[in-house]
Amino acid sequence: MKDKIHPKYFNDAKVTCSCGNTFTTGSTRKELKIEVCSQCHPFYTGERRMLDATGRVERFKKRYNVKD
């Protein structure tokens, strides 16, 4: 392998989620900021929620006459 072409690897990279959860992992960046982690992701928490920022769900229900 060639010398000095690989990025520096940090074994103690800090990951911060938007929900406030923090943990450490290995990465080529010292600090990572993420939006969804295993503490707040619906698949892991068992919650059933839809993330709809642009109104797509309502438009779909209105277009196809879907009732809850």
Q: pLDDT (tens digit, 9 = 90+) per residue, 12-32?
A: 999 999 889 999 999 999 999
| Structural domain contains residue 22 | yes
Task: Quote the CA–CA distance of 37 and 18 in Å, as a whole number.
Answer: 8
Closest to 45 in 3D by CA, of 10, 6, 5, 17: 17
Q: What is the pTM of this model?
A: 0.57
* Mean pLDDT for all residues in the chain: 83
Task: State mean pLDDT over 27-55.
Answer: 78
Residue type, 35: E
Structural domain of 18: 1-47
What band does 40 get if pLDDT is binned at 50, 70 and 90? Answer: confident
pLDDT at 36 over 70: yes
Question: Strand pairing partners for 10?
Answer: 27
| CATH code (residue 10) | 4.10.80.400
How many structural domains comprise the chain?
Answer: 1
pLDDT at 56 exceeding the cut of 90: no
